[in-house]
């Protein structure tokens, strides 16, 4: 399949760009991993060189499945979003995959430089990162504005200060009730 080949080449390219990634996978050579992307499943074996190689697998040793939380967070949190994937299978293999995936870092400039030159690659990379930072900042500001609207204008949510004040009043009331209860017990003992 074209998609499986592209996925395999891309994943192996990232592995080869990250120092030590293939070395960490070497001890799991021959083990199988399934990336279950709901619409497509990609089955791989860890090859003798520490890279992934497409393979037909009945029962994989490990399965990695994205969740809606991962898909929503991936554009903004990158590798940190991977913790929201659903993992199952061999714990040792999954632990190694987790370590390897956390250290994967795409060197975009190195890939662009042969095509457009070093300076243009650096500028494109910087512009792309700035654009992604701007988008992340815009979403963050949007979330803050929506939150402020819900609290201040629509009054659908309580402000943090009001919640803290309410909690303090409840605690004080509980203390007052406990003191009153203690006084009533003392009075009951004197009457008896």
* Tens of pLDDT, residue by residue, the chain (192 residues): 677 888 888 888 888 888 888 889 999 999 999 988 877 888 999 999 999 998 888 899 999 888 776 666 665 555 666 666 788 898 999 889 888 888 877 788 888 889 999 999 999 989 988 998 898 889 888 988 888 888 888 878 787 788 889 999 999 999 999 999 999 999 998 887
What pLDDT is attached to residue 160? 79
What pLDDT is attached to residue 47? 93
SS3 (DSSP) at 144? helix
SS3 (DSSP) at 155? coil
User: How far is the C-alpha of 56 from the C-alpha of 43, rounded, in Å?
Assistant: 6
125's tokens: 């990379």
What pLDDT is attached to residue 72? 62
pTM over cut 0.85: no
User: How far is the C-alpha of 163 from the C-alpha of 19, rounded, in Å?
Assistant: 49
Q: Which residues contact 15 (CB under 8 A, 6 or more apart)?
A: 21, 22, 25, 50, 51, 52, 100, 104
What pLDDT is attached to residue 83? 66
Quickly tell me which residue has 């402000």 as its tokens.
159
What pLDDT is attached to residue 108? 84
Strand order in the sheet with 86-89: 52-54, 41-46, 32-36, 62-65, 86-89
Are 47 and 33 spatial neighbours (Cβ–Cβ below 8 Å)? no
User: How far is the C-alpha of 81 from the C-alpha of 134, rounded, in Å?
Assistant: 19
């Amino acid at each position: 399949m074209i998609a499986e080949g592209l996925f395999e080449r891309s994943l192996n390219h990232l592995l080869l760009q990250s120092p030590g990634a293939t070395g960490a996978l070497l001890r799991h050579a021959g083990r199988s991993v399934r990336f279950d992307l709901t619409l497509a499943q990609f089955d791989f074996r860890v090859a003798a060189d520490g890279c992934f190689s497409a393979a037909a697998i009945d029962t994989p040793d490990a399965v990695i499945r994205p969740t809606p939380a991962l898909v929503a967070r991936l554009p903004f949190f990158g590798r940190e979003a991977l913790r929201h994937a659903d993992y199952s299978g061999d714990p040792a293999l999954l632990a190694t995959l987790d370590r390897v995936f956390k250290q994967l870092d795409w060197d975009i400039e190195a890939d662009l430089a042969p095509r457009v030159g070093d300076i243009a690659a650096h500028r494109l990379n910087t512009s792309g990162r700035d654009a992604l930072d701007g988008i992340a900042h815009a979403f963050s500001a949007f979330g803050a504005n929506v939150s402020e609207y819900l609290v201040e204008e629509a009054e659908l949510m309580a402000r943090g200060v009001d919640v803290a004040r309410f909690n303090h009043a409840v605690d004080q009331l509980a203390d007052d009730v406990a003191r009153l209860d203690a006084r009533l017990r003392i009075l009951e003992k004197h009457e008896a």
